[in-house]
A and B are shown apart, each in its own frame.
Chain A
């Protein structure tokens, strides 16, 4: 459940808690109000069920959307990397092809040179033979002829060495060409494989986009639905507030009748009243405040939420202690808050503990400050959240203003 939804639910809880507090202490004479309250409670419960369902669906849709967006982003990143990889492979293939062309050209040239050199050498050998037979040069100059024959030998040796050089160079180039061809083949294969991966990623991305669009549509629908519900809940809250006011007025009248002028002290939301409790107040558990009291901006739904309590993050299964001396006024399940325990400290002071896993005290049982009243549920992440709300005279006050809590 997202913090936004929790905040919305906290508003409901506040109304429910108010009702839960007020009902046991209500005057027996006000039957019409009680009936109205029961009626409104029924309607409220029904709306809460619907709202809870919608919130679950919306949460699921949001989770799906987040997952889908994550997948789309991941696919986009992978596609980008894939394109970059393909581009690199293409460049490499291009470079390899250029080298291949050059090597092929070099091999062709070397083959031509080799053929030419062989042909030249053969012709030179023929020329040497013919010259030897015909007495090339000056026949009356034997020394010159001897020198010419020696030069022909030098030339033939040089020609043969040249052919050897060309042959070796051709072999080297041929080996290089073969290596390049192998590289090109391997790179082409890799490219085909990566192209397939890219196509697969593209189709998956398209599929994810379609799914995301579906989710977006569902989310929009659920948001509309939630908006409508929130409007209804607001109306309901106004009704509950009205009833609460009536209860307060009735309490005031009864107190005036019973205690005369001493009841002039009107209940109000002064935090100092909690400080005046006997024994003082202590933190219900060691943890960090993750949701603050008061008006908060919900970026998920782009709305402003009025938080009437705080949420304290603590290890799963942690013991929850009473913040002060009092009596258990309510212990039961409240939709959206799980198991809720309300301790009445007297003088219109209440402390509310939501999202409990188990209760360790019963309705009507007296508790002291530090008495373990329940435990937080377990969680795979190892962290759980306690909802803590303090009410003084029907008004929610910031728990951090009277209890030292880590923020």
Chain B
């Protein structure tokens, strides 16, 4: 009875040195790509950045008591699209106004503080769309305590459009990197297949079918791709976590580190790893075929 040799990890046995180098390179690449992916998932492109900069201001009437204003702020905070609603009294408004204008002397007239109190409403980054903001603004305008609502009607559509474009650009860059990975990996797979062509021919002469060989090579590439992507994404997530902890200002752009452990983030990372596995398998097959046909 003739014993059939195992074809798992055949490349590892035939091209140990190049494969180690490729593996290290791919890990680093997946590390960067995973970190970028997680950042994109957390930030929603530039939504978090823009949501952090955008706020709806409900200017209250001068005679509104603080207790009523705070009650209104609590009610507003309970709206689905609202991330936070903070009441600032007239004194805080006056200080903010004085801070905004560098020459406060002429502004300190004998008439006292003319500023009214206001409620600053922040929108959730994942709900930072015109459809979610409009109901909040409409609701505020119908409140008698509110004198005026400053929601940036003039510039908000432009801001949202710019945000969408920026988000698409971010994802486009991410996709370009993935495509680049595909091309580089294909070349590597082809080169390795060409380099091992003598060995594969030897195996073929001894009855190992070409299809089976290609399958096992692709399967090994998928497994290794998944593992490398998962490990790289995990490492990238860890690095991102540390960065967010060390540089809190990044939270305003990316998000809080705790969001890294959210199920949707983990699911996204797993999907990315699966995608990487499929891509690795596809690259292995395409490289094998290219090597067999003699194409570049």
Question: A and B bound?
Answer: yes
A→B interface (CB under 8 Å): 113, 116-117, 119-121, 123-124, 127-128, 131, 136-137, 140-144, 146-148, 150-152, 154-155, 157-159, 162
Which residue of A has the minimal Cβ distance to B150?
Answer: A146
B54 to A: closest C-beta gap in Å: 5
Q: Which residues of B contact A155 (CB under 8 A)?
A: 97, 107, 114-115
Give the complex CA separation of A146 and B115 in angstroms: 14
* Chain A, Cβ-Cβ closest to B57: A147
Name the CB-closest residue of A to B88. A147
Closest B residue to A156 by beta carbon equals B114
Determine whether B216 belongs to the interface, using a CB cutoff of 8 Å to chain A. Answer: no
Between A136, A155, A162, the greatest number of chain B beta carbons within 10 A of the residue's beta carbon is seen for A155
Contact between chains at B115 and A151 (CB < 8 Å): yes
Residue pair B100, A136 in contact (C-beta under 8 Å): yes
Interface of A: prevailing SS? helix
Find the A residue at minimum CB distance from B62: A154
Chain A contacts for B148, CB-based, 8 A: 150
Cβ of B102: which chain A residues have Cβ within 8 Å of it?
127, 136
- A144-B54 Cα distance, complex, nearest whole Å: 8
Chain A residues within 8 Å of B17, by CB? none
Q: Which residues of B are found within 8 Å of A127, using beta-carbon distances? A: 101-103, 106-107
Q: Given the complex, which residues of B lie within 8 Å of A119, measured CB to CB?
A: 106
> How far is B118's CA from A143's CA once the two chains are assembled, in angstroms?
13
Name 24 A/B residue pairs within 8 A (Cβ), A-sorted. A117-B110, A120-B107, A120-B109, A124-B107, A127-B107, A131-B100, A131-B101, A136-B100, A142-B152, A143-B57, A144-B55, A147-B57, A148-B96, A150-B57, A150-B59, A151-B93, A151-B115, A152-B97, A152-B101, A155-B114, A157-B114, A158-B114, A159-B111, A162-B110
* A123, B152: Cα distance in complex, Å: 27
B residues adjacent to A (C-beta < 8 A): 53-57, 59, 93, 96-97, 100-103, 105-107, 109-111, 114-116, 118, 148, 150, 152, 155, 159
Q: Which of A113, A137, A143, A159 contacts B54 (CB 8 A)?
A: A143
Q: Known A131-B100, A142-B155, A147-B150; judge A154-B114 contact (CB<8 A).
A: yes
List the 5 closest pairs (A to B, CB-CB), nearest first.
A158-B114, A123-B106, A120-B106, A143-B55, A162-B111
Q: How far is the CB of A177 from chain B (nearest CB, A)?
A: 21
Residues in A with CB closer than 8 Å to B116 are 154
Q: Which residues of A are found within 8 Å of B56, using beta-carbon distances? A: 143
Other than A119-B106, A146-B57, A162-B110, give 17 A-B pairs with Cβ distance below 8 A: A123-B103, A131-B101, A136-B100, A136-B101, A136-B102, A143-B56, A146-B150, A147-B150, A148-B100, A150-B59, A151-B97, A151-B115, A152-B97, A154-B114, A155-B107, A159-B109, A159-B114
Nearest chain B CB to A234 CB, angstrom units: 98
| List of B residues within 8 angstroms of A143 by Cβ | 53-57, 150, 152
Q: Taking each of B53, B105, B159, which has the highest tally of chain A beta carbons within 10 Å of its own beta carbon? A: B53
B176 to chain A, nearest CB (A): 27
User: CB distance B100 to A151 under 8 Å?
Assistant: yes
Give Cα distance in the complex from A152 to B55, angstroms.
18
Which chain B residues lie closer than 8 Å to A146 at the CB level? 57, 150, 152
Q: Which residue of A lies closest to B110 (CB)?
A: A113
Query: In the bound complex, do residue A142 and residue B101 qualify as a contact, i.e. CB atoms below 8 Å apart?
Result: no
Question: Which residues from chain B contact A151 at a C-beta distance below 8 Å?
Answer: 93, 96-97, 100, 115
CA distance A136 to B99 in the complex (A): 10
Interface centre among B55, B56, B109, B159 (most CB of A within 10 A): B109
Chain B residues with Cβ under 8 A from A123's Cβ?
Answer: 103, 105-106
Q: Are B101 and A154 in contact (CB under 8 A)?
A: no
Docked complex Cα distance between A203 and B195 (Å)? 146
Q: Provide the residues of chain B in CB contact with A120, threshold 8 Å.
A: 106-107, 109
Note all chain A residues with C-beta closer than 8 A to B152: 142-143, 146
Nearest residue in B to A125 (C-beta to C-beta)? B106
Q: What is the distance, in angstroms, from A164's C-beta to the closest C-beta of chain B?
A: 11
Do the beta carbons of A137 and B100 come within 8 Å of each other?
yes
Q: How far is the CA of A124 from the CA of B103 in the complex (A)?
A: 9
Shortest beta-carbon distance from B294 to chain A in Å? 56
Q: How many Å lie between the Cα of A162 and that of B110 in the bound state?
A: 9
Residue of B with least CB distance to A122: B106
- Docked complex Cα distance between A140 and B55 (Å): 12
Shortest distance between the CB of A343 and any CB in chain B (Å): 107
Contact (Cβ within 8 A) A141 B97:
no
* Nearest chain B residue, comparing its CB with the CB of A157: B114
Question: How far apart sit A123 and B102, CA to CA, in the bound complex (Å)?
Answer: 12
Q: How far, in angstroms, from A137 to B100 measured CA to CA in the complex?
A: 5
Q: Is A148 a contact of B110 with CB atoms below 8 Å?
A: no
Distance from A250 Cβ to chain B, minimum over Cβ atoms (Å)? 120
Complex Cα–Cα for A136 and B103 (A): 11
How distant is the Cα of A293 from the Cα of B161 in the complex, in angstroms?
Answer: 136
Provide the bound-state CA to CA distance between A385 and B110, in Å.
90
Q: How far is the CB of A39 from chain B (nearest CB, A)?
A: 112
Bound-state Cα–Cα, A128 to B107, Å: 11
Chain A neighbourhood of B110, CB < 8 A: 113, 116-117, 162
Give bound CA distance, A276 to B247, whole Å.
153
Contacts of A140 in B (CB 8 A): 53
CB A113 to nearest CB in B, in angstroms, measures: 6
> Bound complex: CA of A119 vs CA of B103, how far in Å?
14
Chain B residues contacting A147 (CB-CB under 8 Å) are: 57, 96, 118, 150
Q: Which of A119, A136, A154 has the most CB of B within 10 A?
A: A154
Kindly report which residue of chain B lies nearest to residue A134, judged by CB atoms.
B102
Instruction: For A158, give its contact among B93, B103, B106, B111 (CB under 8 Å).
Output: B111
Give, as a whole number of angstroms, the nearest-CB distance from A8 to chain B: 91
Determine whether the beta carbon of B53 is less than 8 Å from that of A141: yes
In whole angstroms, what is the CA distance A271 to B2 when docked?
Answer: 205
Contact of A154 among B55, B103, B109, B115 (CB under 8 A): B115
